[in-house]
């Protein structure tokens, strides 16, 4: 008893991550022991969301641009908006998303144990993970790739010059596997330091304990801003992995469909230049719109039919765009030219398909 109390009290005070780790372990154990049969039954998780009138959604607790708490302690960011998207589509109110910050390692365990309805936290979809019965990969919101960041003073211009370097990476992530693959394939010697605590990890890199920081390119972009001298660091040109960062839900056919199609509404809105600003003007003059737009937002459109089948509010597509916005709107708002990250979506793989990107809006009909 003494041990248990002593250990947990120190975790409560410091190290959010370890505290959650502890909670999750307990949660996992309880879930494994007590919950009866949790196979993917259509609608079960969806019913739970509706009856509790809130959608529990996991995000990264500290990822500038993607999810960080603002001065009021409310999470803001690109990933956060997909939690709000799901709440707007299912509950008709984006603010009904109960957004919780959680470490990477524990987020998937929490989903599997039934501790959250979905996660929007830059989780890479992989075969093994998707094969697990406890979670479903639903829609890729961001195409990323793993890269390297080095101090500019090191004078390195390509990852092939990194022989003998020490690389810092997040504990427990796919980053470690990708590193081992890439350095192994290129027969380059390296050392890895996988540090779980983000502050410790970044301090280790900024102070030069590690020569290289490896993570997804976008994470490198945002983590760089946490340094006192962001310009002193360079991101190397090599992209060594495919990282389709994907929304994860508990397995439930209705929930998966709702989240997937809500995301397609955001892509379609982007394609037709519909935003949260102009949506009211569009719906006010719905008969003058292209047919695809009418199917999305008219009262007798395809989305209304989907609403009855999936058990969503009739105007779910309107609510998603009105309360959250189109994909491009959300992207620019959190990551675009006006933000410190200055990501150029038009020239990236996250551009619309028509502009040569991978964001391909499925037909809503």
Partner 1 sequence: MIPPRLPPPDRKILPVWDIFATAVVVLLIAFAVNNVITNMSLAGATPGFGFLWQNAGFDVSEALIPYSPENGYYRVIIVGLLNTLLLAVVSLVLATALGLLIGLMAVGPSPIGRIAASGYVEVFRNLPKLLILLILFVTAVNELPHVRSAVGFGGFYLSNRSLYFPTLVFTPQIWGVLASMGGAILLALLMQSRLKQHRIKTGKALPMLGACVPCVLLLPVLGAWVLDVQWVWSLPEFAGFDYKGGLRLSLQFIVIALTLGLYHGAQIGEVIRGGIEAVPSGQGEAAQALGLSRGQALRLIILPQVVRIILPSMSNQYVNLIKNTSVAIAVGYADLMSVAGTIINQSFRPLEMMLITMGMYLVICLSVTMMLNRMNERLRLAQH
Q: Where are the beta strands (DSSP E) in 117-261?
A: 118-124, 136-144, 146-151, 165-170, 190-195, 212-216, 233-235, 243-249
Q: Is 9 in the site for partner 1 (CB under 8 A)?
A: yes
Provide, rounded to whole angstroms, the least separation between the CB of residue 186 and partner 1.
Answer: 14
- The nearest distance, CB 192 to partner 1, in angstroms, is 4
Q: How far apart, in whole angstroms, are the C-alpha atoms of residue 314 and residue 317? A: 8
Q: Is 128 in the site for partner 1 (CB under 8 A)?
A: yes
Task: Point out which span in 107-115, 227-235, 270-278, 308-316 binds partner 1 (CB under 8 A).
Answer: 107-115
Q: How far apart are CA 338 and CA 241, in angstroms?
A: 28
> Judged by CB under 8 A, does residue 37 bind partner 1?
yes
- Through-space distance between the first and last CA atoms of the chain, rounded to whole angstroms: 60
**Closer Cβ to partner 1, 7 or 365, answer by number:** 7
Applying CB under 8 A, among 95, 158, 208, 230 the residue interacting with partner 1 is: 208
Least distance (Å) from partner 1 to the CB of residue 237?
19
With contact defined as beta carbons under 8 Å apart, do 341 and 335 qualify?
yes
Told to check if 340 binds partner 1 by CB under 8 A, we report: no
Binding residue count for partner 1, defined by CB under 8 A = 69
Residue 144 dihedral angles phi and psi, to the nearest 5°? -130, 175
Residues in 39-98 at the binding interface with partner 1, rule: CB under 8 A: 39
Reference 266, options 321, 199, 203, 190; nearest CA is: 321
313 phi/psi in degrees, rounded to 5: -60, 145
Q: Is 83:118 a contact under the CB 8 Å cutoff?
A: yes
Which CB atom, from 27 or from 56, has the smaller least distance to partner 1? 27
Instruction: Please select the residue that binds partner 1; options are 188, 204, 286, 358, rule is CB under 8 A.
Output: 204
Q: Which of 159, 111, 148, 101 is nearest to 259 (CA)?
A: 111
CB of 215 to partner 1, least distance (A): 14
Q: Judging by DSSP bridges, how do beta strands 165-170 and 97-101 pair with one another?
A: unpaired
Does residue 160 interact with partner 1 by CB under 8 A? no
Kindly list the residues in this chain that would bind partner 1 in the complex (CB under 8 A). 2-3, 6-7, 9-11, 13-15, 17-18, 25, 28-29, 32-39, 104-105, 108-109, 112, 128-129, 131-134, 162-166, 168, 171-174, 176-177, 179-181, 183-184, 190-197, 199-201, 203-204, 207-211
């Amino acid at each position: 008893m003494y041990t248990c109390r002593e250990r947990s009290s120190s975790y409560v005070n410091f190290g959010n991550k370890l505290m959650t780790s502890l909670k999750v372990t307990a949660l996992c154990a309880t879930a494994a022991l007590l919950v009866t049969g949790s196979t993917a039954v259509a609608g079960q998780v969806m019913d739970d969301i509706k009856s509790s009138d809130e959608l529990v959604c996991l995000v990264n607790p500290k990822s500038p641009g993607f999810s960080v708490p603002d001065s009021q302690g409310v999470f803001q960011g690109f990933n956060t908006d997909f939690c709000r998207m799901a709440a707007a589509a299912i509950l008709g109110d984006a603010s009904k998303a109960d957004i919780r910050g959680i470490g990477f390692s524990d987020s998937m365990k929490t989903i599997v144990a039934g501790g959250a309805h979905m996660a929007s936290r830059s989780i890479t979809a992989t075969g093994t993970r998707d094969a697990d019965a406890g979670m479903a990969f639903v829609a890729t919101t961001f195409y990323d790739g793993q890269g390297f960041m080095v101090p500019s003073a090191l004078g390195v211009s390509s990852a092939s010059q990194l022989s003998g370097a020490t690389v810092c990476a997040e504990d427990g992530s796919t980053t470690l596997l990708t590193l081992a693959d890439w350095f192994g394939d290129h027969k380059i010697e390296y050392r890895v330091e996988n540090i779980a605590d983000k502050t410790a990890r970044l301090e280790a890199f900024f102070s030069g304990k590690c020569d290289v920081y490896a993570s997804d390119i976008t994470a490198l972009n945002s983590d760089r801003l946490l340094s006192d001298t962001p310009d002193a660091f360079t991101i190397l040109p090599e992209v060594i992995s495919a990282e389709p960062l994907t929304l994860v839900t508990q397995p439930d056919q209705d929930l998966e469909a709702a989240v997937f199609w809500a995301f397609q509404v955001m892509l379609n809105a982007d394609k037709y230049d519909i935003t949260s600003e102009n949506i009211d003007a569009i719906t006010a003059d719905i008969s003058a719109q292209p047919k695809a737009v009418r199917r999305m937002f008219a009262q007798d459109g395809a989305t209304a039919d989907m609403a009855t089948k999936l058990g969503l509010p009739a105007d779910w597509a309107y609510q998603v765009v009105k309360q959250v916005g189109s994909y491009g709107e959300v992207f620019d708002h959190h990551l675009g030219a006006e933000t410190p990250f200055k990501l150029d979506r038009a020239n990236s793989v996250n551009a619309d398909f028509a502009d040569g990107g991978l964001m391909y809006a499925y037909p809503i009909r």
